[in-house]
Amino acid sequence: MFDWTEQSVLVTGGTGSFGKHFVGVMLERYKPRRLAVLSRDELKQSEMKEQFPPGRDSVMRYFLGDVRDRERLERAFSGVDIVVHAAALKQVPAAEADPFEAVQTNIMGTKNVIEAAIDSGVKKVLALSTDKAVNPVNLYGATKLVAEKLTIQANAFGIPRGCALACCRYGNVIGSRGSVIPIFKAQREHGKITLTDERMTRFWITLEQGVEFVIRCIERMRGGELYVPKIPRMTLTDLADAMAPGTEREVVGIRPGEKLHEVLIGEDESRLATEFDDHYVIEPSYRSWSADIVPDGGKSVPDRFTFTSENGAVTLSSEELIELSGGL
């Protein structure tokens, strides 16, 4: 049984949507002996400290710092047992416009997290990824694919030193910054919403579901796994129907770097995938360390299996989306 009360936990990018919810859940339900946030935004940290104050009688700690700065990571990781790596530049247009910046944070930053964690005696690292890492068509997805590869293969020198590393890959988070839901909310007030393509579909997961999935992955991980939750999909038109019924719509065309449909497990990954009740585990295609990473109780997926938002997932109804989001 995994005992969170004995763990010192740090989350990179901890002032983002995921990080703030993760901290709240950790403090309320799991009560780690120490919980640290590392981020580069002093304003967001100041605001977060009001909600989750640090202090002598608090388990909370805050570090101003950037994952691009390896020395700062080594200082922050001192005495840490578990690192949740959530820091990333994730806006697709921004990554296309400033590709070097996305590479520096998403790839080189992940490299720094890995090396600092192993050298600092961290026991587990779980890195957050995205459906856009599968068959990427934009730079953001490509950087996250590289980050996945770096994290998984790092077990070759991490496991012998007592550090296990894994990834979890999921889809759009309902209501998170940069998702289409806040955009539709703002647009409907003006009587017209814009759709990129009426055929478009996306995976959806709530912040609560994402945080709980990450926690379960940390508890069960052995090192080398890529976890994928079984989450529902929804068409863009159904989302518009749920959020702005009867509102005028304008189709503006698919944006650079976007796909019509997202993929969480590609066809070439199917031979490495094992299915469980609520998730899949993808084994590394190349493994130079000896360890059994997939637990008993799963089953192999069919040959050429894919998990896509077009036709490989349960469809989320408008009513279910509204219920999940707490009202739109």
Q: Is 235 strand, coil or helix?
A: strand
Q: Which helix (H) or strand (E) holds 25?
A: helix 17-25
In a 13 Å sphere around the CA of 81, the CA atoms on its Cβ side amount to 14
Q: 144, 106 in Cβ contact below 8 A?
A: yes
Residues paired with 127 in a beta bridge: 85, 167
Whether 292 and 222 have beta carbons less than 8 Å apart is answered as yes
Q: Closest Cα partner for 156 from 272, 287, 283?
A: 287
Phi first, then psi, for residue 157 (nearest 5°) are -110, -5
20, 90, 132, 144: the active-site residue: 132
Size of the chain in residues: 328
CB 121 within 8 A of CB 162: yes
Question: What's the rounded Cα separation, in Å, for the pair 287 and 289?
Answer: 6
Partners of residue 250 on adjacent β-strands: 194
Q: Is 132 a catalytic residue?
A: yes
Question: Rounded to an integer, what distance in angstroms lies between the CA atom of residue 48 and that of residue 139?
Answer: 30
d(CA 312, CA 307): 5
CA dist 159 → 1, 70, 165, 227, 277 (Å): 21, 20, 8, 18, 28
Task: Confirm if 22 and 52 have CB atoms less than 8 A apart.
Answer: no
As given in the structure block, the two tokens for residue 326 are: 């707490």
Please list the active-site residues: 132
